[in-house]
Amino acid sequence: MSDIIHTHEAPAAIGPYVQARRTGNMLFTSGQIAMDPKTGEIVSQDVETQTRQCLENLAAVVQAGGCRMEDVIKTTLFIKDMDDFGKINAVYGAFFGDHKPARSCVEVARLPKDVLVEIECIAQVPTA
């Protein structure tokens, strides 16, 4: 059995999926794109700004699931152009600081709403 996680601090799902599911002590998020949760608009065509918004949205979902970003154990990044890897990596590294989750990064042909980056994660829910 799993619990559906939802927060208004991150964009609502734009398809037949949920923001996240928590099962046992694990939280699995759906991919977050650079959509402003208040307006539903993509924040910018700048890859750094998009990456930051993805991570802020992801953090909101992770928090709604009872975790902190320090509880994230794995992320997957889907990026439109591997030439943007350095810029994305700089924002990602600053966001996570000393915490270093396992990570995969994959270049893809196209992403929802034609964004430049999408990020999902798996987190371990802390025990009380």
Catalytic residues: 105
Q: Where do we find the tokens 């890859």?
A: 47
Asked if residue 101 lies in contact with residue 92, where contact means CB atoms within 8 angstroms, the answer is no
Residue 61's closest CA among 115, 118, 7? 7
Where on the phi/psi map is residue 63: left (φ > 0), alpha (ψ -120 to 50), or beta? alpha
CA angle, 112 then 82 then 104, to 5°: 75
